[in-house]
């Protein structure tokens, strides 16, 4: 199966500061990568490199194309949606549809119009008058109708209400199932996107702190809930403090310690959100 995204030994420096440190990953059709990290973790720098907006060290190939040297043809198969207002506010919805139809050889105007019939967006409305949720829906309709193979989402539902979020993600799932496509979602709202993900790449200060399929990553850790009297005894497991329980404390430990840890407290599986919180707390 062809790799739609291939990143090898990617690094990015700003002056003397390393903002992305030697990252490697690849994606094929059907994979949904969660790019997770707090502000300053390196998510935006990685996305800018994938989009060809910034120079970088290492190798990137998207749909077999180099983001910088082959930027124009790359934009035919690569889409990007952020939480910012990137669509021209002075245009009407109908005008942006016609403009995109003229600029994008693979754009399906009828499909875009059909997608918008499931929203409250009117064709003659100016983009500047639309709510934030409507703008995101419009941007998604433009992207889906452009035969995009790789879609990058950068905090796309930030500030949207629950109804808009559910509609947005439902359309994404339908888009993913409609061909060989891959999706990268950058977010720090882990619980919101966890159900969509097949893979995860967690960043902290430019470094990868967890990477792989969701199943493989979560199997590496367990939660151990113990009373305070056992806190000292479990230090050999190199636990990461998670949160307090009822008269107990919950710790994150490696699964390799599971058999030994059972004598100290209750063992349970961990969610991606708990893992994200714990690893972001930990000093590296």
Biggest CA–CA distance in the chain, Å, is: 70
pLDDT, residue 48, reads 94
177 shares its domain with 231: no
pLDDT, one tens digit for every residue, the chain (284 residues): 789 999 999 999 988 889 999 999 999 999 999 999 988 899 999 999 999 999 999 999 999 999 999 998 998 899 888 866 678 899 999 999 999 998 888 889 999 999 899 888 999 999 999 988 888 889 989 988 888 899 999 987 776 777 778 888 888 888 888 778 999 999 878 988 898 999 999 999 999 999 999 999 999 999 999 998 888 899 999 998 878 888 899 999 999 999 999 999 999 999 999 999 889 876 54
Confidence (pTM): 0.89
DSSP letter for 126, please. B
176 shares its domain with 64: yes
> Residue 197, CB half-sphere, CA atoms under 13 Å: how many?
30
115 shares its domain with 233: no
71 shares its domain with 131: yes
- Orientation angle between helical segments 132-144 and 93-103, nearest 10 degrees: 30
Q: Which residues contact 266 (CB under 8 A, 6 or more apart)?
A: 224, 225
CATH assignment at residue 52: 3.40.50.300
Q: Which domain holds residue 39?
A: 3-214
Helix (H) or strand (E) holding 167: helix 162-176
User: What sign does the CA torsion over 80, 50, 1, 31 have?
Assistant: negative
Alpha-carbon span 115 to 138, nearest angstrom: 9
CATH assignment at residue 264: 3.30.70
Nearest partner of 171 among 111, 130, 102, judged by Cα: 111
65 shares its domain with 132: yes
Alpha-carbon span 212 to 193, nearest angstrom: 16
Number of domains in the chain: 2
Chosen domain end from 214, 248, 268 = 214
Look at the chain and count its residues. Answer: 284
Alpha-carbon span 183 to 150, nearest angstrom: 6
The strand pair at 240-244 and 150-154 is best described as: unpaired
271 shares its domain with 146: no
Contact 252, 221 (CB under 8 A): yes
> Residue 208, CB half-sphere, CA atoms under 13 Å: how many?
17
98 shares its domain with 190: yes
């Amino acid at each position: 199966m062809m790799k739609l995204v291939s990143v090898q030994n990617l690094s990015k420096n700003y002056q003397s500061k390393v903002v992305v440190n030697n990252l490697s990953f690849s994606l094929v059709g059907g994979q949904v990568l969660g790019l997770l990290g707090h502000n300053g973790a390196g998510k935006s720098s990685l996305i800018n490199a994938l989009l060809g907006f910034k120079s970088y060290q290492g190798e990137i190939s998207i749909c077999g194309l180099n983001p910088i040297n082959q930027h124009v043809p790359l934009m035919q198969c690569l889409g990007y949606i952020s939480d910012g207002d990137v669509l021209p506010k002075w245009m009407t919805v109908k005008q942006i549809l016609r403009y995109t139809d003229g600029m994008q050889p693979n754009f399906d105007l009828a499909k875009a119009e059909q997608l918008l019939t499931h929203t409250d967006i009117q064709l003659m409305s100016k983009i500047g008058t639309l709510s934030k949720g409507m703008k995101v829906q419009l941007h998604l309709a433009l992207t889906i109708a452009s035969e995009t193979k790789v879609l990058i989402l950068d905090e796309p539902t930030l500030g949207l209400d629950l109804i808009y979020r559910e509609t947005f993600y439902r359309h994404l799932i339908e888009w993913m199932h409609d061909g060989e496509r891959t999706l990268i979602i950058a977010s720090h709202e882990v619980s919101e996107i966890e159900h969509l993900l097949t893979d995860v790449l967690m960043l902290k200060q430019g470094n990868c702190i967890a990477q792989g399929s969701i199943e493989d990553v979560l199997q590496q850790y367990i939660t151990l809930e113990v009373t305070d009297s056992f806190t000292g005894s479990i230090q050999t497991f190199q636990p990461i403090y998670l949160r307090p329980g009822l008269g107990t404390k919950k710790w994150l430990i490696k699964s390799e310690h599971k058999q030994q840890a059972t004598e100290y407290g209750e063992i349970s599986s961990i969610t991606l959100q708990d893992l994200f919180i714990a690893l972001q707390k930990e000093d590296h």
